Amino acid sequence: MPQEVSLRETYGKTLVELGRENSDIVVLDADLSRSTMTRFFASELPERFFDCGIAEQNMVSIAAGLAASGKIPFASTFAVFVPGRCFDQIRMSIAQPGLNVKLVATHGGISVGEDGTSHQSIEDLALINSLPGFTVVVPADAIETAQAVRVAASSYGPFYIRLCRPKMPLVYNDDYHFNLGKAVTMKRGEEVTIIAIGTMVAAALEAADNLKREGTGCCVLNMPTLKPLDE
């Protein structure tokens, strides 16, 4: 079985690395740093960490102001809250002016388990994809997460990165290179093609193995960048 690694912890630790490399990187959270794992940054670089409390709209607006001042803000909370609770602020203060804000949402989709239906975000990707200028990335494992966060930090413009709650099996090796806007062929096959993102990539690979045992060749594509879409 492939090793399972937390995407959230990988995100938090990658933020610390980036923060040490670039003094313009700042991190914001909305009272969930122990869940989003921005707590690692808060512990290591507290002077550049801002806990905005249970006020996601305010967090987004502060992030926009920091970006307008030349900083590179990473703002995090659960996907059900960003963009769900602060869509207007994202639209008006980040998307329309094209500010350099990185929104990283954890607990995406129905992966939240015991957190319950109130925390299941099934609309976030549709909402954020409707906004102009956003780059939208849904990593499949921890290796892809670390690279996607680094690409976001070095690319100008608004980003939305969606992470899941549970640990996920590694689907890549250390030699993997994340290419923004490009699909990745995970398996080749001639009869069926499965296109997957995020948590569903590992499931798609398992399904392809099952189909192969039944005599059906299955191609699996990982589409980590939802916007811009690889055409």
Q: Taking a C-beta distance cutoff of 8 angstroms, is the pair 139, 159 a contact?
A: no
Q: Taking a C-beta distance cutoff of 8 angstroms, is the pair 152, 101 a contact?
A: no
Tokens of 44: 């290591």
Q: What residues are paired with 106 via a beta bridge?
A: 78
Active site residues: 56
Q: Write the CB contacts of 175 (distance below 8 Å, at least 6 apart in sequence).
A: none
| 190-205 per-residue burial string, b: 16 or more CB within 10 A, e: under 16 | eeeebebbbbbbbebb
